[in-house]
Structure 1
């Protein structure tokens, strides 16, 4: 998607707006009752299964969820049981203290016994890392996020890891953002480098962002 140039003042204002929205969504997720999160995860998984019912997938890239994020563990196991190769993020350390996250990397899912807690308390695979270019093999990429809109704008967790990772994606790959229903909003503050998504899936609907 083309985005017009942004002045330094615009960039700073957008950064502040993102910070405020992230804080609000994270607070709302934290106070969401556990039984509600469980029910939402189950409903969202059924939406995903229906969405993928007729898809011929060889490789899918997917994030490993940590509560209170929309859950993906059931989805990853389901995909693997169907013979789909699942790529999971590997979080390398930043090159300098000023960088919030390291460079993107991926490794294949080989079962729950091949997972560990990585940097920033995120779960990652223990299988061999394959580099950022491994993402080019995925036909479907399932992304984390905090909010989105029907135009496909996505509010990430900060750090730009997935924006950098998506530079290595196949142009035909479908990108999917998992959210709760109340996280689909009218407008998302976006920097020029922010990537859009193709589809948003919530517990109650599948939104084609076109």
Structure 2
């Protein structure tokens, strides 16, 4: 939840929303860059347990997830935990011009870095953007999430576009560190019309609904 030491642009008047987003992204990335390898390892282990226990993820036979970047909450422990219990996992594959695609996760030995600065991707054949119609849950990266379901991503808009291919009832689980959950009443994240809200936020210490579907 929001605290006084969370990065937050104090002077937003006169700025475009995208400028406020970029200011906040820079501050959050700088904060993440200070995390120690030990802290990152602990976060990855905590997230693996928490996210695997989210009912929408635990009950799904097929989920979409992602391979974390060096300063993100590590997802390798989560991928291994889900794969060990038989869950099929789709991972993003980025083509030319941020083309959206997916491929199956077949273990860490199958991952390769295809371009500098990009996370590792499966080496196997791609499935096409429409493959996302098979998933019941989408585990998505974020730099911050607020309690109204607002998500601040890395700035490319990739997930906002790709989630259009997900089933209407598939739940989106955003993953952040504990201190990156913002109170939408006092510190709402900047939002644009194209931004897709998320349903659940998961951190190393637990998860919570942000937008509860009927019957959940």
Q: Same fold (TM over 0.5)?
A: yes
| Cα distance between partner residues in 1 of 2:189 and 2:145 | 6
In the alignment, does 2:135 pair up with 1:138? yes
Aligned residue in 1 for 2:126 = 129
Do 2:56 and 2:136's aligned partners in 1 also have CA atoms closer than 8 Å?
Answer: no
| Cα distance between partner residues in 1 of 2:204 and 2:107 | 26
Do 1:44 and 1:201's aligned partners in 2 also have CA atoms closer than 8 Å?
Answer: yes
Aligned residue in 1 for 2:4 = none
Aligned residue in 1 for 2:22 = 19
Aligned residue in 2 for 1:115 = 111
Structure 1 residue ranges without an equivalent (≥5): 1-9, 95-101
| Cα distance between partner residues in 1 of 2:62 and 2:129 | 15
**Residue 107 of structure 1 aligns to a residue in which SS?**
strand
| Cα distance between partner residues in 2 of 1:162 and 1:48 | 19
> Which residue of the other structure, out of 65, 81, 86, is the alignment partner of 1:83?
86
Q: How large is the Cα RMSD of the aligned pairs?
A: 1.8
* Residue 53 (structure 1) shift: 8.9
Number of residue-to-residue matches in the alignment: 194
Do 2:57 and 2:63's aligned partners in 1 also have CA atoms closer than 8 Å?
Answer: no
Do 1:91 and 1:118's aligned partners in 2 also have CA atoms closer than 8 Å?
Answer: no
Structure 2 residue ranges without an equivalent (≥5): 1-12, 212-216
Aligned residue in 1 for 2:165 = 168
In the alignment, does 2:197 pair up with 1:196? yes
1:138-162 residue CA offsets vs partner (Å, 9 max, x unmatched): 1010000100111110000111111
**Residue 96 of structure 2 aligns to a residue in which SS?**
coil
State the TM-score, normalized to the length of structure 1. 0.87
Distance 1:204 1:59, change over 3 A: same
Aligned residue in 1 for 2:39 = 36
| Deviating 4+ runs (over 4 angstroms) | none
State the TM-score, normalized to the length of structure 2. 0.85
